[in-house]
Amino acid sequence: MHFTGRTWRPNYEANSCIIQMTSGCTYQKCHFCNLYKDEPFALSSLAEFEEDLNEIKSYQPNAKRIFITGANPFALNYERLKPYILTVRDYLIKCQAIAMFARIQDIKNKEIWQLRKLRAMGVNGLSIGTESGDDDTLLLANKGYTSQDILEQCRKLDEAGIEYYFVYMTGLAGKGAGYRNAINSAKIFSQLNPYFISVDSLTLFSDTKLYDKAKRGEFIPAGEKERIRELQTFIQNLRIRTHLFANSKSNFYPIAAYLPKERNSAIRELQYVIDTVDEQEMNAYRNSLQSLE
Ligand code: SF4
C-alpha cells in the first residue's frame, strides 16, 4: 500500500478498508490543528491508487466500505474525483460506501447534480470537521467558513442524499463562551441532517496558533467542568434525531446517546461527573493527551 505522511482516520471508520488518495490538507490554517503541519496537500497518481485497490481486492474482495485518507480528498472537483471513484468500483464490486473527510468549502465547488452523481457512484459518509456552528468560535478557530456556509453547503448534501457526520469541539470558544457556542451550534446543526455528531474536546498542542495566543493571554482555555456543561447545553438544545458520540480520547468522560430518546439520561450522567470529580483530576487527564483524537 502506498501510504505516505500521516494516515489518519476517525475511530468510527475502524472497520473500513483504508486507502490513500490524497495526503495533507489543502487549508492548514485552523488555529488549533497541527495534524498535517508541514505536509502539503498531494494527490496520489491513479496508477498508485489502482495498485492499492488491487492489493485490497486480494485480501478483502468483498469489502463493503472504504475510507479514503487525507484531510480533505473531497477538495478535488467533480472531474478530478470521478476517475478515482469509478476505479474503486472496478476493483471492489461489493463496495457500497466510499467515505472520506471533507471541509465545508470542499462542497462549494460542486453542483447538486454532481453531488448526486458522486452519490450514485458510491460516495457516501463524509466526515466534516465543522467543530462549531457559532460564528465567533469559527472565526476564533480560523475555520474559513461561517455558520451560513455550513447551512448552504450541507443542504446540498441533503438534497443529493449523501450521508455526512459532524464534529463538535467543546472548549474551542474559550473560557466563559462554551454556553454561547453550544446554543448557537445546536441551532445550526438542528437545521441539517447529520447522521451522527462526534464530539471532541479542545486540547492545546504547543505548535498551534491557539497555543501561542493562550501563552500571550489572548485566549483563555475553558476549564474541564465548563466543557462538560457546554456538552450538556449542546445536547439539551439539539432538535434533531441523531446519534451523538462524545467518546473519543479527548473527552474526559466518554458518553454516547441516541437523541432525543437518551437526552435526559445523558445530561444526568454528565451532571454526576461534574458533581463527583474534581477539576484537578480532569486537568491532569487533559495534560496527559499527546495527540488530537
Ligand atoms: S482541522 Fe482539518 S481542515 Fe483544519 S487545518 Fe486541520 S486538517 Fe486542515
Q: What is the pTM of this model?
A: 0.94
Position in ligand 1 atom list of the atom nearest CA 131: 1
Query: How high is the pLDDT of residue 293?
Result: 47
Query: How high is the pLDDT of residue 291?
Result: 60
| Mean pLDDT in order along the chain per 10 residues (293 residues) | 84 93 94 89 96 96 95 96 96 96 97 98 97 98 98 98 98 98 98 97 92 96 96 98 94 96 98 95 85 53
Residue located via cell numbers 457500497: 96
- Cα(210)–Cα(171) distance, rounded to whole angstroms? 12
Kindly give the distance from the C-alpha atom of residue 168 to the centroid of ligand 1, in angstroms, as a whole number.
14
Q: Fold for domain 11-287?
A: TIM Barrel (3.20.20)
Query: How high is the pLDDT of residue 7?
Result: 83
Best mutation site among 9, 22, 23, 30 for ligand 1 pocket (most ligand atoms within 8 Å of CB): 30
The domain limits of the chain are: 11-287
Position in ligand 1 atom list of the atom nearest CA 27: 8
Q: What is the DSSP track for 232-275?
A: HHHHHH--S-EEEEE-STTSSS-EEEEETTTHHHHHHHHHHHHH
Q: What is the DSSP track for 109-136?
A: TS-HHHHHHHHHHTEEEEEEEEE-S-HH
The reply to whether ligand 1 has any atom less than 6 angstroms from the CB of 101 is no
The secondary structure element, H or E, covering residue 97 is strand 97-102
Query: How high is the pLDDT of residue 292?
Result: 53
